[in-house]
Chain A
């Protein structure tokens, strides 16, 4: 089973709203990732969590706030977003961040529209 689930599938929010994206995996993976993908562009790394600790923040604006409550869950809290933040937000997980177990498996994504 290589399933990563994400909710919601679609989200429309205003610039003053606060919302959260959720990601879950039950593969025992210890690394989880958030990516942002605009249309016809490659995924861009936002955050990496390794063993529930934030290990990489790719200079993401503070209006995006990640949280890893436990090894299976990853959240992305959104506040005061801009229309240019509209994109597909992808969550991924891998068994680890080093060695041969680094293959990332992606969830279906949340398509976010900011009005």
Chain B
């Protein structure tokens, strides 16, 4: 089976840096996604890591360590609009290619 863990909530200050961690256990790991979801809206794609290391994309970076079953999403220069849920999702090829979502981390950015 699969298990994905991320903190339920985090709070950070505008302009600061925040790191959202995700740990996972899966038998057929085939990549890890981060999505952003504002309340009542659809998830929007942020990043996809399939190899170990850091992927940087503007203010957002994502890191993966396959041996540790660990990823993080780093958000720099936080803005109020970054207040949202951040979903870690693992792609698993057991029984067909599926993307399994973690419960999400609700990030509150305060002034």
Binding site for B on A (CB under 8 A): 2, 41-45, 48, 55-56, 58, 88, 90, 97-98, 100, 102-109, 111
- The docked-state distance in angstroms from the alpha carbon of A107 to that of B31 is 22
Contact digits for B6-47, partner A, Cβ 8 Å, 1 yes 0 no: 000000000000000000000000010101000011111100
Q: How far is the CA of A2 from the CA of B43 in the complex (A)?
A: 13
Contact of B98 among A48, A106, A107 (CB under 8 A): A48
Please name 12 further chain A to chain B contacts, defined as beta carbons within 8 Å, in addition to the given A42-B102, A88-B40, A102-B91, sorted by A numbering: A41-B103, A43-B43, A43-B87, A44-B101, A45-B98, A48-B97, A55-B96, A56-B98, A98-B97, A106-B43, A108-B41, A108-B42
9 closest Cβ contacts across the A-B interface?
A42-B101, A106-B42, A97-B97, A56-B96, A106-B43, A108-B42, A43-B101, A109-B42, A42-B103
Task: Tell me whether chain A's interface is mostly helix, strand or loop, or mixed.
Answer: loop
| Contact between A104 and B50, CB atoms less than 8 A apart | no
Q: Name which of B91, B98, B99 has the most chain A CB atoms within 10 A of its CB.
A: B99
Query: B98 and A103: CB pair below 8 A?
Result: no
Is A107 within 8 A of B97, CB to CB? no
- Contact status A48-B96, CB under 8 Å: yes
The answer to whether B43 and A103 have CB atoms under 8 Å apart is no
Dominant secondary structure of chain B at its interface with chain A: strand
B84-111 residues with Cβ-Cβ distance < 8 A to A are 87, 89, 91, 96-104
Chain A neighbourhood of B99, CB < 8 A: 45, 102, 104
Asked if B48 is at the interface (CB within 8 A of a chain A CB), the reply is yes
Q: How far is the CA of A68 from the CA of B40 in the complex (A)?
A: 26
| Interfacial residues of chain B within 35-75, with CB under 8 A of chain A in the complex | 35, 40-45, 48, 50
Bound Cα distance A100, B100 (Å): 17
Given the complex, which residues of B lie within 8 Å of A88, measured CB to CB? 40
Q: Which residues of B contact A109 (CB under 8 A)?
A: 41-42
Nearest residue (CB) in B for A43 is: B101
- Give CA–CA (A105, B33) in the complex, Å: 12
Q: Tell me the bound Cα distance from A108 to B42 in angstroms.
A: 5
Chain A residue contacts of B42, Cβ below 8 A = 90, 106-109
Query: How far is B65's CA from A4's CA once the two chains are assembled, in angstroms?
Result: 32
